Structure 1
Amino acid sequence: MKKMMLAAAASATLFGLAGPLAAQDATEKTVAITYIVEHPALDAVREGIVAGLADAGFTEGKNLKVVARSAQGNMTTQTQIADEFAGLKPDVAVGISTPSAQALKASMGDSPVVFAAVTDPVAAGLVTDKEKPEANITGTSDQQDYAPMLSLIKTLLPEAKKIGVIYNPGEANSVAQVDGMKAVGETMGFTIVDSPAAQSTMVPDAARNLVGKADAILLPTDNSVISVLEAIITVGERAKLPVFTSDTESVERGAVAALGFNYGEMGKVTGKMVADILNGTPIADIPVVVPGNQDLYLNMKAAAGMGVTIPDDVKASAKKVIE
């Protein structure tokens, strides 16, 4: 037990708090948040959750205590954090990403759990019915329609036939995304060339494996992959192999383009769900939500570096253009 607590404390990142929960005022609510790894999209979700709670009247330092733990990409640590949360007994536990949510579901018993940024909560075993979730778990999904992104690639790269996909085969949502891309891609004349990477350290090799085999790379919302995006960008620049993603935050980091969700807004929607639970709404009455529309983000410098020409009409349709 002592070893477990030390491991969890070592990975702690708290909003205005350090270490285990202190004595709590009876009117103060506690929300415990965990996430598998730190990268801009998940960070935006976490910050959005806190903002959404504040919008609903739950403010840190007044009537809310937020505890946040990063697993630093380690599933053993993630399990330890989930067990720690079970002992802390927060009013609501939040898992950002599929592995984090799965760990909480396994550890929290009947305590309220909310997930965020989970692509396919049914395939991940979190809920069986998104419209009528189980009594103690609901949340937000970033499940996307792949046809618009593949259509964008076809517009930008008319000669492209093979799309490389890097993903973690051990993450259920990543596998579901790749299967979805293959099904949609086949109807659009694309062959999806998958290049699995079971952990982040294997991602650079997975990217290099696609050189000469794919005309472009399309990355799913896979945390193991997105956390080391820069390594993929380096391969793309050197090989003139354009890199596209489903994560808009990745465009600022060097991807050519993304059609995806605003993860900060997703966090706010999640925070509102948490607030509803804190106010007494039964989880069974809160369906799983896929918030917002897909927004187009473009990086003109990255496009030029990877040999992609962005037509004026595509640029004009973008929500954000990074020059």
Structure 2
Amino acid sequence: MFKASKTALGAALGAMAMAAAFSAPAWAADKAVAVTAIVEHPALNAIRDGVKDELKAQGYEAGKNLKWEYQSAQGNPGTAAQIARKFIGDKPDVIVAIATPSAQAVVAATKSLPLVYSGVTDPVAAQLVKDWKPSGTNVTGVSDQLVLEKQIELLKKVVPGVKRLGMVYNPGEANSVVVVNEFKKLLPAHGITLVEAAAPRTVDISSAAKSLIGKVDAIYTNTDNNVVSAYEALVKVGNDAKIPLIASDTDSVKRGAIAALGINYYDLGRQTGKVVVRILKGEQPGAIASETSDKLELFVNTTAAEKQGVKLPADFLKSAKTIIK
């Protein structure tokens, strides 16, 4: 009697275990990817979406065999640090950190969990990796670094004879400081002086831009997260004061910059996703060299050009991949 009951109990427990296995979320036995960004704006959102789509294309689908979590720090470095600590406690297979401040927060919090950064202009200056070779650490990623000489060529095509270039940026953001310092080295050879306007917070964008009125022939914006997240404030100043805006982020052209020769950030996300998949399949992040993208696209906004007092040459318009009217 006892033996039969024991057998029945074993069968019941086996059935319960099987039922639990079938009712458990599919990702419980598979992979987990946690994604964080310093703020939400079109370029960073495009990276996030590109990563997710690339993972799906390679067989890792959220809600099926992948646990996917995304959190934005809403522009707050303190929140970025909190998110980093939470993710580390969750122990996902890979953390993806979008933009420099979020990547720095994760690097400061873990030396073991795999980190793939994306949308970081200079990962060396940001102290994420020591150079562009495989790091030998838990960090690798994909940079959005641009060749600034090409940005200067674009500037001169849009605003011939430019002598004073304004730049609104957050001096606390490493990727922006890198661009400012490089411009200081490169611009004098082109007869151009850089005029800086600091905007540590998004609410400072408008006043920083207004401080450049009468002092500059054009304003250049890099992928500074404060500036891009509040780009409409900069556009209003540019339109009202007839100051041409040149961007490095093609999404900013849709929002009111005249032109940008930049990276397709969705494609950058897909490229980042490929790196994530390599790690999910067993490669060590420290064995994967940091990457960049050389696929540049010219976006032009003819309505913005009119509002900001610029007449664009026909040959320049013909060279654009996308024209926004």
Tell me the TM-score normalized by structure 1.
0.91
Gaps of 5+ in 2: 1-23
Q: What residue identity is the alignment partner of 2:247?
A: T
The correspondence for 1:299, drawn from 298, 301, 313, is 301
Q: Quote the Cα distance in structure 2 between the aligned partners of 1:90 and 1:115.
A: 15
Q: Quote the Cα distance in structure 1 between the aligned partners of 2:32 and 2:243.
A: 46
What's the counterpart of residue 48 of structure 2? 46
What's the counterpart of residue 261 of structure 1? 263
Q: CA deviation at 1:285?
A: 2.2
Answer whether contact 1:85 1:108 (CA < 8 A) is retained. no
What's the counterpart of residue 6 of structure 1? none
Instruction: Give the 3-state SS of the residue equivalent to 2:195 in structure 1.
Output: strand
Q: CA deviation at 1:230?
A: 0.3
Q: CA deviation at 1:159?
A: 2.5
Answer whether contact 1:257 1:298 (CA < 8 A) is retained. yes
Larger Rg: 1 or 2? 2
Instruction: Give the 3-state SS of the residue equivalent to 1:158 in structure 2.
Output: coil
Q: Quote the Cα distance in structure 1 between the aligned partners of 2:28 and 2:205.
A: 47
The correspondence for 1:129, drawn from 128, 131, 135, is 131
What's the counterpart of residue 13 of structure 1? none
Q: CA deviation at 1:286?
A: 1.2
Answer whether contact 2:259 2:298 (CA < 8 A) is retained. yes
What's the counterpart of residue 7 of structure 1? none
Matched, 1:99 2:105: no
Deviations 1:19-55 (A, max 9, x none): xxx9774532110000010000000000000011112
The structure in which a higher percent of residues are helix is 2
Q: Quote the Cα distance in structure 1 between the aligned partners of 2:27 and 2:96.
A: 21
Q: CA deviation at 1:137?
A: 0.4
Q: CA deviation at 1:235?
A: 0.2
Q: Quote the Cα distance in structure 2 between the aligned partners of 1:76 and 1:156.
A: 39
The correspondence for 1:192, drawn from 191, 194, 207, is 194
Q: Quote the Cα distance in structure 1 between the aligned partners of 2:28 and 2:273.
A: 21
CA RMSD of aligned residues (A): 1.3
Matched, 1:154 2:150: no
Q: Quote the Cα distance in structure 1 between the aligned partners of 2:194 and 2:296.
A: 22
What's the counterpart of residue 289 of structure 2? 287
Q: What residue identity is the alignment partner of 2:291?
A: V
What's the counterpart of residue 56 of structure 1? 58
Q: Quote the Cα distance in structure 2 between the aligned partners of 1:25 and 1:66.
A: 9
CA distance 1:24–1:135, shift in 2 (3 Å): farther
Answer whether contact 1:200 1:228 (CA < 8 A) is retained. yes
Instruction: Give the 3-state SS of the residue equivalent to 2:130 in structure 1.
Output: coil
Q: Which runs of 4+ in 1 moved over 4 A?
A: 22-26
Q: What residue identity is the alignment partner of 1:253?
A: R
**% identity of equivalent residues:** 46
Deviations 1:67-109 (A, max 9, x none): 0000011111111111101111111011000000000111133
Answer whether contact 1:146 1:181 (CA < 8 A) is retained. yes
Answer whether contact 1:28 1:62 (CA < 8 A) is retained. no
What's the counterpart of residue 37 of structure 1? 39
Instruction: Give the 3-state SS of the residue equivalent to 1:295 in structure 2.
Output: strand
Greater Cα shift, 194-203 or 231-240:
194-203
What's the counterpart of residue 116 of structure 2? 114
> How many residues get paired?
302
CA distance 1:238–1:25, shift in 2 (3 Å): closer
Answer whether contact 1:91 1:278 (CA < 8 A) is retained. yes
Q: What residue identity is the alignment partner of 1:244?
A: I
Q: CA deviation at 1:62?
A: 1.8
Matched, 1:215 2:255: no
Answer whether contact 2:119 2:143 (CA < 8 A) is retained. yes
Instruction: Give the 3-state SS of the residue equivalent to 1:106 in structure 2.
Output: helix
Q: Quote the Cα distance in structure 1 between the aligned partners of 2:154 and 2:248.
A: 12
Deviations 1:247-270 (A, max 9, x none): 011100111000110000000000
